[in-house]
Amino acid sequence: MENKKLGVLLIIISLVFGIFIIYFNVNLSGESEKLGCTPNQECKGVENLLTMTNVGFGFFGFMLALGFYFLFFNKTEEKILKRLEDEKNAKLEEEKFSYIIKALDDYEKKVLTLVREQEGITQNTLRLRANLSKAKLSYVLQELEKRNLVKRIPKGKTLEVHLKI
């Protein structure tokens, strides 16, 4: 948002500066015609001022282009803020998960980690990946449900396991 304000400000300043330079250049050209400038001492000052107006036009163009860039094209600030926010959220989620994992036994850690890796994993697939019997997996999932860490949703003849945290 600040880039848009800066862009508008630069465009306004450059337009005012451009109008001033054009006015100055027109008056200077009229003055040089009045003097009938040919290469002599009196016209050196006018010639130097005309050179400076060319520099002013360059500065005007630069300011105008920079203003348009900030106004329409520069999205870096938004992207950086979004990336930092995403990284912060991912780090917080990772810390939260690591604290939860510390309070669980080995079977629960294994099951919860597998569920986190594949959200909505079926209970049959989870049993194979965790290398647990049906009874043991069922017991572990009941304990995790009691702690409000996972939820099981019926899917056909089996259940899908989802994280609640």
Query: What's the whole-model pTM score?
Result: 0.53
Please write the tens of the pLDDT for every residue from 112-129. Answer: 999 999 989 999 999 999
Read off the DSSP letter of residue 25. H
Fill in the DSSP letter of residue 104. Answer: S
User: What is d(CA 114, CA 92) in angstroms, rounded to the nearest whole number?
Assistant: 19
pLDDT digits (tens, 9 = 90+) for 40-78: 666 666 666 777 777 788 888 888 888 888 777 767 777
- Radius of gyration of the chain from its Cα atoms, rounded to whole angstroms: 35
**Domain range annotation of the chain:** 2-74, 87-163
Of 1.10.287.3510, 3.40.980.10, 1.10.10.10, 1.10.287.130, the CATH number of 87-163 is: 1.10.10.10
